[in-house]
Amino acid sequence: MALRVLLQPVGWVEDFVVDYVRRGLEEALSLTVHVSSVAISPSLKYFDWSRAQYRADGVLDWLVGELGGLGYDRLLGLCGFDAYAGGLNFVFGLADPSRRAALVFTPRLRAGASHELYELRALKECLHELGHTFYLFHCSNRRCVMSFSNSVLEVDAKMPAYCAECARRLERSGLRVRAVLER
């Protein structure tokens, strides 16, 4: 039986991106992705007014509190707002493997991108953050979707697929990987 993932729009996220991510996740991994038909928004208590950004850890805590009891194997929030974590200026995403939940923040992925490039960036970051929920760490293979990205140029440089080593680790977790990098 395929693992069940809830893809939850958080704030305003374009329908075409949500649909592209859903299809891409199901094509890359042996997952069944359910998309919530209703976008939800976190409380402004997680918003840092001095930075004009949300605190990613607070939003993740909130998402798990709101949806963690629904019985999905993984929660993935696709967020239409900018966020930061720790000492970083921004994050593309954040994951907590112990709670099997992750977030991806779309504004910086959208900036300066065509429709198609924006979709692809969002998919790559969703694959990346889902990988973290299976305890994958950052990969040294710059083409692997699990490589760390500090800029959209680094997101663009990686492929929407896992390297052979990351794929093996995912498969040891019981997840069949369909998108593996060619050598």
Look up residue 80 and give its two tokens. Answer: 């239409």
Question: In a 3-state reduction of DSSP, which class is residue 52?
Answer: coil
Catalytic site includes residue 182: no
Query: How many Cα atoms sit within 13 Å of 172 on the Cβ side?
Result: 9
The residue from 129, 154, 171, 182 that is catalytic is 129
The residue type found at 81 is F
Write down the H helix ranges in the chain.
Answer: 15-28, 56-67, 107-110, 115-133, 152-157, 164-172
Q: What percent of the residues of the chain are helix, what percent strand, and what percent coil, each to the nearest 5?
A: 40, 20, 40
1 beta partners: none
With b for 16 or more beta-carbon neighbours within 10 A and e for fewer, the 66-89 pattern comes to ebeeeebbbbbbbbbbbbbbeeee
Residues with catalytic function: 129
